Structure 1
Amino acid sequence: MRPILKEEALDPYFYRKSDSAIATEHGAGPWDPRMLHGGAPSGLIASIVQNLPSEVPMSVTRLTIDLQRPVPVGHLDIDVNITREGRNIQTSEVILSANGKQVVRASGLKIRKAELELPEASAMPEVAGTIPETPIGFPRAVGFNTAVEMRTEDPAAVSRKAVWFHIKRPFLDSQETTPLMRAAATGDYCNGFGSTLDFDVWTYINADLTLHFAREPVGEWIKLEANSWISPDGRGLGFGELSDQHGPFGRAVQSLVIAKR
């Protein structure tokens, strides 16, 4: 088994500025080397929403990311607005633009933190997860995927494939990668590992990504159990459950655009 590289030894996906970011070629996706893998902007947006100040301590509960256009490698302008500030919730909007055109529009929801003593029947399931030994590859390991360690317990699975992800490259030059950023990027793999379509014959690009979190993820390894529904009218859904080594914590859903190559 090959060793895991230290994140500090790798250049980041983004060089962050106050109101912009420079996306590097390391974040490129499998569809076009000039365009980012969806996991790259998803992790960036997760960091922006997570770091927004709030009146009381809050956790990110939902991220909705509309990929309106392919996100290019290079300069991205970032516009952030808090659209609602309350004692229980905060909502926000994040817009990424390139060359004067809006490419991503995202919204975030944060909910205040509380300490509750729940009945045993209502508590979150805690399932100790063990990182599998078997590595698994991606159909086109370029750009973003070259620095992602993927392992599975069942490499022969076609649907409901469970894969553990460790993203080795840092997202930002100025911030440590958080578990939430890892989870957001991992959620973008629903189509890649949930689809039963042949990658060499079909494209199934996601037009969006919505993530819901029941609790804050923990650690550097995130598991995705991915699946999909494919419709003959050219659309589909990619979806999956997100877990860490303490058990499930969230879900991811994508709207897919299906086409033949």
Structure 2
Amino acid sequence: MNAYFERIDASSFHATPAVEGAWSVEEQHIAPALGLIAHVIEQDHHARRGSDLQLGRISFDILGTMPIDQVDIEVRMLRPGRTIELVEAVLSHDGRAAVIARAWLMQVADTAALAGSSLPAMPDREQLEPWSAGEIWPGQYVRSVDMHRRQVEPGRAWTWMRPRIPLLADEPVSPTARLLGLVDTANGVTPRLAPSEVAFPNVDLTCHLVAQPQGEWIGFDTTVTVGPAGLGLTDSVLHDVTGPIGTVQQILTVRPL
């Protein structure tokens, strides 16, 4: 398996077996598909106006599961602008929408003199032990990602990750799209209860970024919260070698098995 997806034409892609799992090995893990959507959004932007705007926020509503098969992505403009714009992308399988994404693209400006964050640092990768998500999850996708993790307790962990294979075969993607092809993995790195006892799939994902990631590894400072009436939240602060670069939130539907 050389990549998660192979391009068919301008808007169609074939999923490879590398996207398999994790709630079912008959379905796609949604993580690579979210990165693919981000890549197509960035391509659409570049074709229209070059690279003068950058992705600051992207939200995904996950409408259903997808088999490991062809997917199609269409992008449309919702709010054009000179310094900001809002676009929508719909990923579908066999004519059925599976993911709807909305992305804010925003102007680039030199704010290096103002840069900083009060978010806490996380341990360096070398301080964490190698870990395989395949210990608790089925499917090929989780086995295609290198991970180092320190779990404080179930529902609280630091994890550094990098995918071992490209998002898209024979086609470069930006560091941001590569990151967004990984972030959904956060919901599986420190479950509060074993997936064999409780299902807790996320129905959305929202990512805010303050910088394009640098380096191969992405750090996740992750906390999982479960409420008393069937709802949960996985919340992660994203890091690269420079420090915090954004956040990811995923709302969960929590269902005892």
Q: TM-score w.r.t. structure 2 length?
A: 0.89
Query: Hey, what's the Cα distance between the residues in 2 that align with 1:236 and 1:50?
Result: 31
C-alpha change, 1:81 and 1:146, in structure 2 (3 Å) is same
Q: In 2, Cα distance between the equivalents of 1:260 and 1:102? A: 27
Which secondary structure state, in structure 1, belongs to the residue aligned with residue 70 of structure 2? strand
Say which is worse superposed, 202-211 or 181-190, in terms of deviation: 181-190
- The residue number in structure 1 matching 2:233 is 237
1:123 is the counterpart of 2:116: yes
Where structure 2 has 5 or more consecutive residues not aligned to the other structure, the ranges are: none
SS of structure 2 residue aligned to 1:232: coil
Shift of 1:11: 1.6
CA deviation vs aligned residue, 1:54-113 (integer Å, no higher than 9, x gap): 546111101111110112211112111122221211211111111221111111111010
Instruction: Please give the residue correspondences for 1:104-119 in structure 2 after superposition, counting only pairs within 5 Å.
Output: 104-116=99-111, 118-119=113-114
Residue 72 (str. 1) matches residue 64 (str. 2): no
* Counterparts of 1:174 and 1:252, CA distance in 2: 28
Report if aligned partners of 1:187, 1:240 keep a CA contact under 8 Å in 2: no
Spell out, residue by residue over 1:27-57, the C-alpha distance to the aligned partner (whole angstroms, 9 max, x if none). 0121111211121111111212223225461
Mapped pair 1:40 → 2:32? yes
- Gap regions ≥5 residues in structure 1: 1-9
- Please provide the CA RMSD for this pair: 2.1
Amino acid at match of 1:58: L
Q: How does 1:160-171 map to 2 (within 5 A)?
A: 160-171=156-167
Q: Identity over the aligned pairs, expressed in percent?
A: 26
1:180 maps to 2:172: no
Greater CA drift, 25-34 or 184-193:
184-193
2:140 paired with 1:143: yes
Cα distance in 2 for partners of 1:227, 1:145 equals 19
Give the one of 208, 211, 228 matched to 1:212.
Answer: 208
Corresponding position of 1:99: 94
Q: Distance in 2 between matches of 1:77 and 1:49?
A: 13
Amino acid at match of 1:35: E
Q: Does 1:198 align with 2:194?
A: yes
CA contact (8 A) 1:194 1:238 kept: no
Question: How far has the Cα of 1:21 moved from its partner?
Answer: 0.9
Moved over 4 A (4+): 124-129
Return the alpha-carbon distance in structure 2 between the equivalents of residues 117 and 32 of structure 1. 44
Report if the CA contact (8 A) 1:211-1:252 is conserved. yes
Single out whichever of 190-199 and 13-22 deviates more from structure 2: 190-199
- Counterpart-to-counterpart distance in 1, 2:118 and 2:29: 32
Preserved contact between residue 25 and residue 33 of structure 1 (Cα < 8 Å):
no
Paired residues of 2:132 and 2:143 also in contact (CA < 8 A): no
Aligned partner letter, 2:234: G
How many Å separate the matches in 1 of 2:138 and 2:194?
A: 16
Equivalenced residue count is: 249
